[in-house]
Amino acid sequence: MDTISIQGLKVSTIIGAHPWERTLRQTLLVDLEFAAPVREPAQSDDLQDAVDYDAVSRVVHDWIVAREAQLIETVAEGVAGLLLGEFSINWVRVSIWKPGAIPSAQRTGVTIERGKRNG
């Protein structure tokens, strides 16, 4: 199985369940790994045959900003569903990290996998 990764995508958005969190933007860090064929695009060297990483990043960023979720779990599920529905992807791992959520921790996060791994 071939995988593609996008690590540390920064998204500034409204996120959090506490009232004070709903009044300011916070940065989420998004890590994506997804199954996508690499052999054909590698041979053709043509973006038309590949998953467009820039498009994936823009779609994920824009969805998170528009959603203004309370929970990072909601963000992870939404991003996974979005990627499986909009791109030629059968499996995805999504990690959403919220730096500063717990003052004594570097970051807090959730990781989910959705879809079916092939090969």
Per-domain boundaries in the chain: 3-115
The CATH number of 3-115 is 3.30.1130.10
Residue numbers in the chain where pLDDT is lower than 70: 119
Say what the pLDDT of residue 117 is. Answer: 81
Say what the pLDDT of residue 119 is. Answer: 55
Q: How many other CB atoms are found less than 10 A from the CB of residue 15?
A: 25
Candidates 79, 55, 82, 69; CA nearest to 26 is 69
Say what the pLDDT of residue 93 is. Answer: 98
- Which pTM was predicted? 0.92
Q: Encode pLDDT of 6-25 as tens digits.
A: 999 999 999 999 999 999 99
